[in-house]
Structure 1
Amino acid sequence: MTMTQKYGKDKSEDNYRRAVALIKEKLPSMRILNALLMINLGKEEDILVDARQTPPVLLLETTEEPDCRFQTKPEYLIQFSQGKLEPRYALFKDAFFHEAIPPKVLPVASLPTPTEDLDRVRADIAEFGYGLVKDALAPEQIATLKKAVLEQAAGEVAAGVAAKDGGPNAPNQRIWTLINKGQEFIDLLQHPLIDEIVPDFLGEHALIHSYSANIARPGNVPMQLHTDQVAIQPPVREIAFGLNIMWFLEDVTAENGGTRVYPGSHLGHVAPDDIFDLKDSVAAQGPAGTALVFESRLWHATGPNIQQTGERPVILMFFMRSFIRQQENNFLSLREDVERDLPDKVKAMLGFCTTGALGGVEGDVREGQMVKRLKNPVGALRKTTNV
């Protein structure tokens, strides 16, 4: 596999050379690490930095075990050096552990399959990191939601606001902030499966971290492997902070971009050796109407759509524990006309309800208060006093 095949145009040799040059340029500042560091930028060869001596140097090889290993993409280092990227994201989120264990390869016959038994789904999530709910959506719901997603996608393309990804040609499309984009999506947030599954894993008052659709189209480049605990740095593997529900609006297969997962990779200090290589991963497959439920520590990626025609639309509801800041800032992005008519249950998911002394307005953090933007918040009130 060539670099272009593996990474696409934006992972060119030029970016690699620039990233290596940056590492060499910053060598003197690495003395603070006082460690033997192994860096991988997606190629077979590693870059060895010996920061135990002054000044630090690059090594061609070593027989010693490095004190630290990490992988990242060349452009992340470049963006970091330009001040465009927070350092923890330059480490490609949580693909960074001391002595990480590669995911195990499990027999396909033992893996989850769609079932209506929610106890089985819960057990599958606990054991494998994901489960599949059979017939979570009725045929009429599938048709309504699929139509809404595809029409919204076309509308955003026509308006010049489409979010495209999936490689240099960007065939995939994401539709963000679904809460603003149709009553169908608001209705889906009241699906009974949410109450049946989410509190079991995240406790009461879980918040919608993000609410989006993802359309995988032919010719896409697979997403890099990742987990969904992006903001938890350094990585915490002992507890799951989030749970994703992916609603299949089309039959999802390994051929049309089914999400690739490493079953069981949610447990322990697990990380793939190469976050750009989907080897030994499996596609989470199921017929239209299936709900894929997976927790935030599971290693996964949008898969390649290798079909000649056709697309794979899904809806993603990502919930996080109530004390985790949401990816989508609903207080700013929510349309006023949508907010006005939302049921309290949905508002609570978006963060409009006080819980655990969090989320109050003007100091009122009494439990269970539904908050709203104040028209006239108390401002500066100064009165001269005799001192």
Structure 2
Amino acid sequence: MVSPTPSIAEAQQRVKDEGWCVIPDILSKDEAKNVLDELWAIAAAAQKRGEDTFLPFLDPNESNVRVFYLLEHALFRNLIQHPTAIQMVKSVLGENFLISNFTANIARPGSKSMGLHSDQSLVSPDPWPYVNAMNVIWCLTDVYAANGATLFIPGSNKWERRVEVPDNARELLRPFEAKAGSIIIMDGKMWHTSGANVSSEDRALLFGYYTAPHLRQQVNWTRKLNEEVKGSLSPEMEEWLGLGVTANLGEAILHLKYLDDQFATNGEKSSADTAAAFKASSHSK
């Protein structure tokens, strides 16, 4: 079993170095169960409306229950903004990011593995020199190898091209294991897949998917969320969902200056550098 990371600082460093970490006890067991109960109710309502909870291109059989558009519901809007989750997101993606999606995957007994992938490889072509996507995975049940824990390849967060995936990738997979109420942080370059559930109990995970602001979101929240929900959002949440007026300013605020200020500053530095170089050159003669 992978060991949980005891402090936020250590968690942030582990994600930077290894691409993942486990942070325990974000929810109590009772809180995790309440979220799971709400999730099943949402899944049942979706099925009643005729919405798909099984996608054949993702999962080999109907034992995987997928639930989409969780941000329509207040409980899940609160989770996606959880302070610890946001703290970890900012440590990976920076202050500016988007909430791309929030979904659930309940692996029931008999479920099998989806295809091996990294989340970043699905939204942008290689190379991937930087982390531009990440997941905060909420464990609503205990998660272990036999009940379908997410499988990952240690060190794959360092791969920058698809051709780096080795032929023996399947043999390298290891499970993320954690107790109910934990979160698993996984950066978008980590290669992974869902595990097969060979146990007699469900494994329930939520996937909060965040990206750098230049990547288009998987869900068009402007279209999906109703006016009542949009009217209830904080200005901060509006920006994270891409509902603000501006979009994809990137690092313009950090790097753009007035022309006079920009070149005056650069000129001063350039003159200082030239003077230093001339002085060093004179002393060397």
For normalisation by structure 1, the TM-score amounts to: 0.60
Return the letter of the residue paired with 2:67: I
Partner of 2:142: 251
Structure 2 vs 1, CA of residues 124 and 338 (structure 1 numbering), >3 Å: closer, same or farther? same
Q: Count the aligned residue pairs.
A: 247
Partner of 1:125: 15
Q: How does 1:227-306 map to 2 (within 5 A)?
A: 227-229=118-120, 230-233=122-125, 235-269=126-160, 271-274=164-167, 278-306=170-198
Cα RMSD (Å): 2.3
1:246 partner SS:
strand
Cα deviation, residue 128, structure 1? 1.8
Structure 2 vs 1, CA of residues 298 and 195 (structure 1 numbering), >3 Å: closer, same or farther? same
Partner of 1:195: 86
Residue pair 1:247, 1:315 contacting (<8 A) in 2 also? yes
Return the letter of the residue paired with 1:288: A
2:156 partner SS:
coil
1:293 partner SS:
strand
From 142, 150, 161, the counterpart of 2:32: 142
Cα deviation, residue 274, structure 1? 4.3
Taking every aligned residue pair, what percent have the same amino acid on both sides?
27
1:279 partner SS:
helix
User: Which has the higher relative contact order, 1 or 2, with Cα contacts under 8 A spaced 6 or more apart?
Assistant: 2
Structure 2 vs 1, CA of residues 168 and 204 (structure 1 numbering), >3 Å: closer, same or farther? closer
**Which structure has more helix as a fraction of its residues?**
2
Partner of 1:212: 103
Partner of 2:47: 157
Structure 2 vs 1, CA of residues 286 and 115 (structure 1 numbering), >3 Å: closer, same or farther? same
Cα deviation, residue 350, structure 1? 0.4
In structure 2, the gaps of 5 or more residues are: 255-285
Cα deviation, residue 357, structure 1? 3.5
Q: How does 1:1-387 map to 2 (within 5 A)?
A: 112-165=2-55, 167-180=59-72, 182-229=73-120, 230-233=122-125, 235-269=126-160, 271-274=164-167, 278-307=170-199, 309-353=200-244, 354=246, 357=249
In structure 1, the gaps of 5 or more residues are: 1-107, 359-364, 368-387
Return the letter of the residue paired with 2:44: A
Q: Which 4+ stretches in 1 moved above 6 angstroms?
A: none
Return the letter of the residue paired with 1:170: E
Structure 2 vs 1, CA of residues 178 and 355 (structure 1 numbering), >3 Å: closer, same or farther? same
Return the letter of the residue paired with 1:126: K
Return the letter of the residue paired with 2:145: A
For normalisation by structure 2, the TM-score amounts to: 0.80
Structure 2 vs 1, CA of residues 304 and 208 (structure 1 numbering), >3 Å: closer, same or farther? same
